[in-house]
Amino acid sequence: MNTVEIDAVHPLMTEGPRLTVEPPATRYDKQGDLPDGERAARAVRQFVRDFGATAATWLESCIHCGQCAEACHYYVQTGEAKYTPVWKLEPFKQAYKREAGPFAPLYRALNLKRDVSAAELESWQELIYDSCTLCGRCSLICPMGIDLASLISQARHGMAKAGLVPHELWAVAERASVEGSPLGATPKVFRERCEWLADEHNVAIHVDLPEADILVSMSSIEIMKYPDSIVATARILNYLGTSWTFRTDGYEATNFGMLSGNADWQRESSLRLINAAVACKAKRLILPECGHAYGALRWQGANVYGQPLPFEVEHISEFLAREMQAGHLPVKPMPASVTFHDPCQISRRGGATQAPRVVLDKLGVDLHEMEMHGNLNWCCGGGGGVVTIHRADALRYKVFQLKMRQVEDTGASMLVSSCSNCRQTFDDGQAHFHWDKTMHSLLELVADHLIEPAASKENAA
């Protein structure tokens, strides 16, 4: 077996010890005890269901120019052709050509495209899950306008039907379906945590109000690892004097059903939030600092609901930007040089690229933009469920070095983002590489720098 060298020191150092290790054996995970033939058949049936007009147009449009490769952090950091985004779709494309494309009868008659096998799907599990964060940078770069990230998400639907999802990702998605939260933040845990935080920080945290203008949600990472986000949210909404609430029947914004490819679980998670908002007659649902939560509800929620949502959906950064622009959230200036990491699902995929910059401008920071920022920003490497997959850790750390160099090149003293999943990935990378950069929450910075009402009036005078 070939050996490879991996970094044993800070990746920005040019000297230091090297560690030679054997690469791990290829691993794939299975759910259930289906025979291989049935797994492959289930995957293909689901692939075919997803071959609508849009997917077919995209699959027919690829000119194999290779530009998506240079847009992918996995390819850029490894140079390995298998990480080219379009190659990750090969079994999906194979099924399309044989089963649904315009020349499918010819492909079958001449066996120009063979049946997709379980062995192929097993070997592609690493490419579809471990080495794709669904960041959409390849989609943005594609000269033919192909949304490769969406196609890979559709390919995950077939993998989920076949019971071929990485174990850790399947486990948290299943737990979310059973308990309502992927990390054990059940309604009881969430309520108790809110009560404890309210007492600890002397702040009113509204839970289960029968009616409210605003329903607020949280991600499981914030509830369990970054609870100050709950406090910051409460302080800001109380400061505004608005009618708001959390609801224990719909508070968890994290949607691992979507990330695993299980469309039924995705629908369950989305409907919990939608139904909770409808129940309390909310006019607005505010999503937390969570990237994929934004995409799941802001852009896919109405499809799940089957009709236009009867309330507005905003990411917390959009809400903050709007209220700060209106002068409703005056803040003390922050004398710091800051660089901002754009979360892929909020910025590039979601469109809320300028909102955090409005907030940072109101905070008065010295913003040092990364060379590739905004919609072109490099992914942190933890999205798409990748941060949950332990076998992907070595590869994830390798691509994280690209992000570290990008941050270092700005010369900024503070690193800020508006996604708790990115924050977790940065915290993990910081610990792994003994890096001196700590990720800060945009939401928490606003709450920490609010000008108290009396002081605000004095400044205005």
Give the closest residue to 393 by CA, choosing from 82, 79, 19, 6.
Answer: 6
Sequence ranges of the chain with CATH classification 1.10.1060 = 36-164
The CATH architecture annotation of domain 329-448 reads 3-Layer(aba) Sandwich (3.40)
The pLDDT-based confidence of 417 (bands split at 50, 70, 90) is: very high
Q: What is the pLDDT of residue 459?
A: 42
- For 17-64, how does the pLDDT look when each residue is reduced to its tens digit (9 = 90+)? 333 444 445 678 999 999 999 999 999 999 999 999 999 999 999 999
Q: What is the pLDDT of residue 229?
A: 97
Q: What is the pLDDT of residue 452?
A: 85
Task: Tell me what percent of the residues of the chain surpass a pLDDT of 70.
Answer: 93
Cα 297–chain centre separation = 12
Token readout for 183 is: 């990390």
Q: What is the pLDDT of residue 26?
A: 62
Task: Tell me what percent of the residues of the chain surpass a pLDDT of 90.
Answer: 90
Sequence ranges of the chain with CATH classification 3.40.50 = 329-448
Average pLDDT of every residue of the chain: 91
Q: pTM, whole model, 2 decimals?
A: 0.89
- Tell me: pLDDT of 272 over 60: yes
- For 108-135, how does the pLDDT look when each residue is reduced to its tens digit (9 = 90+)? 999 898 999 999 999 999 999 999 999 9
- Tell me: pLDDT of 16 over 90: no
- For 139-169, how does the pLDDT look when each residue is reduced to its tens digit (9 = 90+)? 999 999 999 999 999 999 999 999 999 999 9
- For 362-385, how does the pLDDT look when each residue is reduced to its tens digit (9 = 90+)? 999 999 999 999 999 999 999 999
The pLDDT-based confidence of 453 (bands split at 50, 70, 90) is: confident
Matching CATH number, 36-164, of 2.40.160, 3.30.70, 1.10.1060, 1.10.3470: 1.10.1060
